[in-house]
Amino acid sequence: MRELRFRYAMELRFSEPVQEHRFTLRCFPQSGPRQSIGPTTLRLFPEVSVAWGGDGFGNVWAYGCVSPPHDRFSVEIAGSAVTGSAEREEALPPWREGRFRQQTALTRPGPAITAFHSALDLSGPPLERACAAMDALWRSFRYVPGSTDIYTTAEQAMAQGMGVCQDYAHILLSLCRLEGIPCRYAAGLLPGEGESHAWVDIYDGGCWTALDPTHDRRALDGYIRFSTGQDSAACSISRGIFRGFARQEQTIHAWVSEEEEL
Amino acid sequence: MQEEMDLYRHTDTVNELLARYGVKFGIYKDKTFHEQLFPFDAIPRTISAEEFSSLERGLRQRVDALNAFIRDVYGEKHILRDKIVPEEFVYASSGYLPICEGVTPPKGVYAHIAGIDLVLGKDGSWYILEDNLRVPSGASYPMIARELCRRASPKTFTGAHIEDNRDYAQLLRRTMDHVNTGGMTVVLTPGRYNAAYFEHSYLAEQTGAHLVTGSELRVEGDYLYFIGYDQRKERVGAVYRRISDEYLDPMNFYEGSLIGIPHLYDVFRKGNVALLNAPGNGVADDKGIYYFVPKMIRYYLGEEPILQNAPTYLPYYPEDMQYVLANFDSLVLKDVAEAGGYGVVFGSKMTAGQMEDFLRQLKAEPRRFIAQEVIDFQDIDIMEDGERVPRKADLRAFVLTGEETMVWKSGLTRFSRDPHSFIVNSSQGGGFKDTWIFSR
């Protein structure tokens, strides 16, 4: 168990003013067996009211619209969380989690992943196989910031042998789905300072257990989960469309610590 | 018969009127847009009261089961638990949308307007060819054709006991009102370049709904609003949308859509607006799922299917694959991902090279194809150059689900103008007829 304070700030700057800017934000951790979330504050600029959405599977999002012309859009959420309060979280019966066994456009294996998978010697219950696959992946894949982007598929990342946390997660999902194991993408935060993080939930024995393939370990203490879904596209922290021909630049600042922020 | 002859004399008049009213459809082929007239043939398809009553029971049963299936698939998934339908057929279907998981539309209705395609076999029984549960079109054509025929030849209809089909607008209105969550009812069209724009405007006019495009609708907070030309804002309670799922909402579906309404699915999810038909229905009218509809009827309703499927084989099952390979020449093969008569091939019409290519695909991706016996369906006469000639025809029946499940006492009969073709889709150059149901 670990009590943490967190802050996630995202800013978009547009090269010229945009309007009718519609946004959906998925950066709202919810209390559950594995984490409990204290009071949070949300700040938006320009200041607009948001509406709330949820899917009944533990994901909550905010959506809204900035109508007048603006060249900056920022969001900041801050709060406290107790993490690692349970190792696992009860899932729905297996026939209801079947969609998480399906590959998606981002996880669909190609020659590189198929070859990697066939070289693995996996046996035992789902979690054991997933851990072995994670370990093998971690040994042969390199963490190289900037080597991929949000559209990179698991297969593309595997073929080039490097990527970031999103790619580790997609490849592990792809491998587990080849094994017929339901598994899902998780997006959220880790202690430290920088960007958001991504890991994987594995279905085993009627429960979800979190693995962090980027660090080759269970994801327990310190993991603050924003959302889960079939892949990163279902968990995108910020999605938006607007009117205008502006280029946009995004900056993210995530911060998680046991201390009060200075 | 004398009366019918009078109507046939007016065929050209009716076609001219249809052209003047803009009864056209457009098709995209080879990336260009063609608008074509939809030729009307005055010889109606006729169905006796007794025959229709059995069709009606069968269609209601089928659509009730399909609605139950969609509700189950996006909810508790009992049919997957009990392995009546293999899980991968549901999840691999391009019509299955994960975003619809756990979402219940107003009053629990998914397929409000179903277009069920049937053919009458030479053995005298009806066979279901496909279910259309997304945006089935075509009801407006027999509606306006009937209207114009009555005008051109009033005496044809006096004394003949034909069910009036102009009540489709009332059935549709009742269906929309049943699920309306409070507010206006609108028909959402992608615009005048859409293949079925005539139908959108006609149905809006006939039902008294507003015809709107996406730019006139706007989500604010938890609700959907209509924004009038004077910036007047009014809440919308029901959207009869004639835009496919993927273009409906750029924030939840295809991001590049310019004809959709951002966040529409978010307010639908909250139960604050009805969408007819509900997004996600494609999971039930997939050609691969079609095979399972008789099983669904038994599973959900505990009844024997009244209407039968065309005999269908799933190469996914090894024994069916064997049958398909052994009887290739007598089967029609369909790519489950295609619609509108595309991706349909007849085993007997392939060259050796085509067959080799096809078999390679079939063996590589068995889940992608279904095979069906070619049904020898009854021809219907059409008038061509003043002579009656037989042609292949099908029937699209419209089944509306509101408080109760209703079958429209008419339907769209489409025929192939090519005497050698079995494909009657309007996008393949066919024409249409009115469908008369006798009231006694």
Chain B hits for A95, Cβ within 8 Å: 77, 80-81, 87
Instruction: Return the minimum-mean-pLDDT range out of A65-79, B346-360, B403-417.
Output: B346-360
Closest residue to B102, CB basis, from A57, A95, A98: A57
| Mutate: best of A96, A106, A178, partner B, most B CBs <10 A | A96
Chain B hits for A230, Cβ within 8 Å: 98
Burial A100-115 (b: 16+ CB within 10 A, else e): bbbbbebbbbeebbee
The confidence band for A156, taking pLDDT boundaries of 50, 70 and 90, is very high
Give the Cβ contact number of residue B28 at 10 Å: 11
Interface touch B221/A56, C-beta < 8 Å: no
Which distant-in-sequence residues (6+ apart) come within 8 Å of B232 by Cβ?
A: none
Interface touch B87/A57, C-beta < 8 Å: no
Residue ranges per domain, chain A? 2-84+238-257, 88-235
To the nearest whole angstrom, how far is the Cα of A50 from the nearest Cα of chain B? 7
Q: Is the pLDDT of residue B424 over 70?
A: no
Q: Cα dist. A247→A12, A137, A242 in Å? A: 10, 36, 11
Amino acid sitting at position A88: R
The confidence band for A76, taking pLDDT boundaries of 50, 70 and 90, is very high
Interface touch B77/A53, C-beta < 8 Å: no
Q: Is the pLDDT of residue B36 over 60?
A: yes
- What is the average per-residue pLDDT within B293-322? 96
- Architecture (CATH level 2) of domain A88-235: Roll (3.10)
CB A46 within 8 A of CB A70: yes
Q: Cα dist. A18→A48, A240, B253, B257, B261 in Å? A: 15, 12, 22, 18, 18
Q: What is the pLDDT of residue A172?
A: 98
Q: Is the pLDDT of residue B307 over 80?
A: yes
Instruction: Return the minimum-mean-pLDDT range out of A254-258, B12-16, B221-225.
Output: B12-16
Chain A hits for B251, Cβ within 8 Å: 22, 24, 63, 239, 241
Interface touch B221/A230, C-beta < 8 Å: no
- What is the average per-residue pLDDT within A106-127? 98
Chain B hits for A53, Cβ within 8 Å: 266, 269-270
Among 2.40.128.110, 3.60.15.10, 1.10.10.60, 2.60.40.2250, name the CATH number for the domain at A2-84+238-257: 2.60.40.2250
Interface touch A93/B101, C-beta < 8 Å: no
Instruction: Reduce the DSSP state of residue A138 to 3 states and report it.
Output: helix
To the nearest whole angstrom, how far is the Cα of A64 from the nearest Cα of chain B? 7
Interface touch B77/A102, C-beta < 8 Å: no
Can you tell me the distance from the alpha carbon of B113 to that of B406, in angstroms, rounded to the nearest whole number?
Answer: 10
The confidence band for B428, taking pLDDT boundaries of 50, 70 and 90, is low
- pTM for the model: 0.94
The confidence band for B194, taking pLDDT boundaries of 50, 70 and 90, is confident
CATH code assigned to B311-373: 3.30.1490.270
Burial B353-382 (b: 16+ CB within 10 A, else e): eebeebeeebeeebebbbbbeebebebbeb
Q: Which chain A residue lies closest to B265 (C-alpha atoms)?
A: A53
Interface touch A55/B251, C-beta < 8 Å: no
CB A9 within 8 A of CB A75: yes
Closest residue to B262, CB basis, from A22, A99, A229: A22
Can you tell me the distance from the alpha carbon of B382 to that of B17, in angstroms, rounded to the nearest whole number?
Answer: 19
Q: Is the pLDDT of residue A261 over 60?
A: no
Q: Is the pLDDT of residue B341 over 80?
A: no
Q: What is the largest CA-CA distance in chain A?
A: 58
Residue ranges per domain, chain B? 2-292+377-437, 311-373
